[in-house]
Amino acid sequence: MRYGRDDSAGPREGLHATLLCHPDGRIREAALDRAERWPELVAIRCADWAPAVRDRARQVLGALLRTHPERAARTLTPLVLRLSAREQGGWALARLEEVLRDDEPVLAALRADTDLPTRRYAARLTLESGRFDARALARLAATDPDPVTARLWADAATRLMATDGPDDEAVDLLLGARSPMVRATGVTALRGAGRTEEAVRHLADRSGLVRACARWLVGQGGGDPFPHYRELVTDPGRVTAYAVAGFAECARRSDGPRLHALLTHPDGRVRAAAVAGLRLLDDNTDITALTALLEDPWPAVVREASLSLLPFSGRLDADRLIARLAADRPRHLRRAAFRLLRARRGITELRACVAMVADDDPRLRATARATVRGWKWQLSLHTDDTDRPELAELLRRSAGLFDAYEMGVRRSRLGLTR
């Protein structure tokens, strides 16, 4: 179909939807007379810039909402939410709200919609209706996979408990949620429920936010969280990575020896947490011990050790790090060595990147190639501890990254005539 043709005889049925998008407002308005089959396009026309088109579309949409409210609401809510940002988009959203506020089954379906703005909108409408008690809201908070919506449910549950009194089952539901934000809300709700002493159980939660709330609540009850952490990290049978993280979050540098003792713990997660904790305490100056951990079989330990060694990368043996870039070395060892070599900057970084331009790891390969392509070759000749023959060899090994012109420019700047 061409928009410029004469449609006075009436559009063919298969082209009717196209006419609703016609640039001529008179044709769009006429096409709305038989537009019930395309409610999405009708909703769009409700925000049309032409008043005549807009008014006619609103009549059609209003009729659809009266005759098929459930189907229209399920179909149109995601689109109408986005159209509401337009200058004339608020009308359809207001009409939709009138339908949804009195239809709990449809709201329930929208609360489980895969479209996040839709489920959040349905959650807000549900909360405004005041249909659910604290226990039901806590259950929704604990099971909703969307963190934003879960936070809405959790906050509403705590507000309701603040006015209507605590509900132990609701608090337990919040504490058992998957979302860290919801669990943190549950921990703070323990105070209002008169269960402050239970905060100790959450000091070693897997979320730093929950651990911080638990420490606050222990302090509100007149206690000190640090002795609890100290007891956890010194008990081989109870220490966990999250207990070590919590210990480091409230420890002092003088407590570093307790973390050093965990560098040889049999659980790799605990070793990794101990390395990260020492870095948090700014007690990561034992270069010999950290370098030894670069050979740890647990990838998380190697990653944390390499991060702790970054400020001291210039004091490490570059040749040994280069050797760890070999293709037969495990990926986590190559990543750690590459991270440390890049931190040295200069020619050492270039050597490492050229060695990794064909690596099997996509992340390492992409970083190496981007670095080599953006390298200032001529500057390296004058500022780095290298010479023209070495740069020529490195350029030759990375030739696949450049076309003939780019290679010629780089060779010329290095003074390589052939």
Q: Give 336-392 pLDDT, tens digit per residue.
A: 999 999 999 999 999 999 999 999 999 999 999 999 999 988 888 888 788 888 899
407 or 1, greater pLDDT: 407
**Cβ–Cβ < 8 Å for 288, 316:** no
Give the model's pLDDT for residue 412. 87
Q: Is the pLDDT of residue 223 over 50?
A: yes
Mean pLDDT of 159-188: 95
State the pLDDT at residue 8: 46
Three-state DSSP class for residue 160: helix
Which pLDDT belongs to residue 113?
92
- pLDDT confidence tier of residue 14, bands split at 50, 70 and 90: low
- Which residues are CB-neighbours of 337 under 8 A, at least 6 positions away? 294, 306, 321, 322, 324, 325, 329, 352
End-to-end CA distance of the chain: give it in Å, rounded: 61
Q: Tell me the mean pLDDT in the region 28-57.
A: 92
Mean pLDDT across 159-172: 94
Mean predicted confidence (pLDDT) in 267-289: 91
Lowest mean pLDDT among 177-191, 262-276, 400-414: 400-414
Mind listing the pLDDT tens digit for each residue in 18-31? 888 889 999 999 98
Distance CA 12, CA 267 (A): 72
Reported pTM = 0.82
**325-338 pLDDT, tens digit each:** 999 999 999 999 99
Q: Where are the domains of the chain?
A: 1-110, 224-316, 318-418
- Average pLDDT of every residue of the chain: 91
The four Cα atoms 336, 342, 348, 354 give a dihedral, to 10 degrees, of 80
